[in-house]
Structure 1
């Protein structure tokens, strides 16, 4: 029977025809709830959607029928919003030839088809109304192409404004043996009811071609918006570039987030930000070392581009000077810090003072000879109890000047001494003529005898 109906459909010339490929559409009306304005005997509205129309007679129990009225209405609930492609209507024939002499042609003339989102046809769209056919030309069955979206399909006829065109019946009646509504669920297209792609704003794609009227949702591209962004792109029209996702993985095609984190040196949901001045590495969890002049380290590997601050060494400037060194590149040697302790790695200071014999912040200065071997002050090198013999000055590091010797150079040399020793006062080069003694403090006999001779 279906093949016969399909053949009849393809022979119809008054509507847009979809031949064998129409079989791919689903009959959305089959066994769905139906209603009509009135019912004649047991010919209820649901008989027009029961899938049976082999017996087209009044009493064949396969057709819906109403009594004579001014207006006659029949409708079917498709169960939800659907993409309708075409409507097939098989009218009652009483199983006799359908021509101008068939009684039911007069009742079919002037019918309308509405697509609506409510059960009221006035809320919907009038998609077809017969205004031209006669009893000799009206086809049965008919196929009405109506690519529209709706939930309810309503068949309507009326006899409310006489006089009527020639051949019209005097009242309106329902005489429907089958109504088939072909189409797909919403957000589908084509005869195969393919799913629409991700059209922008979730709108319906074109029912036939599947193209999206206003472009694609974020992360999608193609005429049908059915392809995810690739080549490390994302977002609207795939125009945004992914950041540096871990291991070169692609980012999420919609929002650009990286599913497994970022490459070393990068952070942020989209992995598009470099680590700040003081961090580096995976998730920027590593702290930079002490780069020279407070410069940032490299955001990936932590290397300091221009070396380290004083007292620090290593590629990442994360190690303090050791082995008694300090300063820039740890090139300076520590002084004589107390008990051999290391000096400060930055400025060389000896934190616990100096060993005996040294003084100053870095204990690199040598003390003079303090009295009785006492250590000098490790800050300024001064000697608390004065200087040892033969030296003087604040730090006891200056030899006695000529003519002085002893502790703190406090004893004057003898006036007749030549080459007074600064430690002992001994005249190392002898005495002036007429003087003798270790300090040339005595007159010699030669001078005495010389006087007597005069």
Structure 2
């Protein structure tokens, strides 16, 4: 504390009342000054407050700076010439050299003033050193000393009486600056402190400015902190005032306390000297040297490389590094492959099949079923034309779906009817073709003609009476009775002989006929059984009966046995006109073919025509 000063503490600062005895210099003396609203025509300019003269504090003394009357604000400043350390400020106000008490008219003009320290002429850009809020007309002194431990280039005095504002009792109606002397005490040279301004400020003080009393720094140079700026920035801070935060240095290391650069590079997701730049699009990892997987949609996480917005079609996995598999493809592997050959994996992006389609499908993706009429791998095969519906077969196997065309068989209708069959579904039996050959598989015709004893396109008709041999092209011998012979061998069934004279030979032949009848009965039974089987196989009996009935002009042959007591002939059988003997059906009036028989010579005379 300076000797000769009486300290007074109040709201707004510390002031000293009384004479000042100090080793600090008045650094405002004869420096450039300026005031708002100068009083024109009078020698009351702003420089009067720093000329060092204040013995006559009246307007007429010419030693005071006075502004014009009737103003709502008053402002005055002095420029110190450079940034200097300030200790205190002393103000000598106008008294007009009369008693300074509440009756003095100038006390009300002094009330409510402020003092600012700034590096510019604008008080708003500086620091408030003092503002009067407590003085009254009876308490405010005419000389005030204010402690103001700041640095600055400008010291600004300000007062106001703004319209619409309410001020305490005793305040003047208008604002005034009536400064007879304005003294600023401090060190005339920057970078020193102490009573004699002989102690250098700590080297890390900002601009080597320190508290003029104790040497504590008013601010530190970049990268340092503490009252005397002896500590480097830490705790992930750097820069001026340690107010900047380090970037993402590798493994969370402390950055350089001055520049903020990271000694071992950047941690994942950051780049740049200070590691405070995020990785650009498409990069990740430490110092952003890693490239995001190109299959990521919308880039990747700059720290981890994870594809946060999913993958492009055809890819999956955290980093979109895995192609779609499991017979899937497309966006999010959400589409299923078609029927590729051997059910192989399709192209992971577009779903095309590398080696073509499996059976039953076609197209790039093998999702199109074979069109009508085609089947197999890639639908390259055509349905068999012999299918029941030539354009309808199983699209995979080619199996005909509606059976086969007439004359064909097997699942694909690839085989002709065989084994004596022809027609639709090979359900019809061939006739008696030459050498028992297979008939035509479609219409049943015999390609090389008929075997012996049969005729017709399909060789199902037996030879007519009087014909025999292949295709019934040969005629029976004229020696045969009624030219009737065996249709197969051509042998006569009965031999033609002259009619014998009418004699009664019953006693002679009675016994012989009886024996012959027994033999004939056995022969006829055998012949009937064989002929029935043959007739069923050929399905021709009905046609034969029709033919027999239509040729009614042909003579009938009867065999008689004279066994009755009256010597009359008894009718035994009616012999058919072709190759056999017939037995009459009682219910239909027809005749059953019994078989081919030959009579012994002794009975030939008993065969008669009618």
TM-score between the two structures when normalised by the length of structure 1: 0.49
TM-score between the two structures when normalised by the length of structure 2: 0.38
The structure number with the bigger radius of gyration is 2
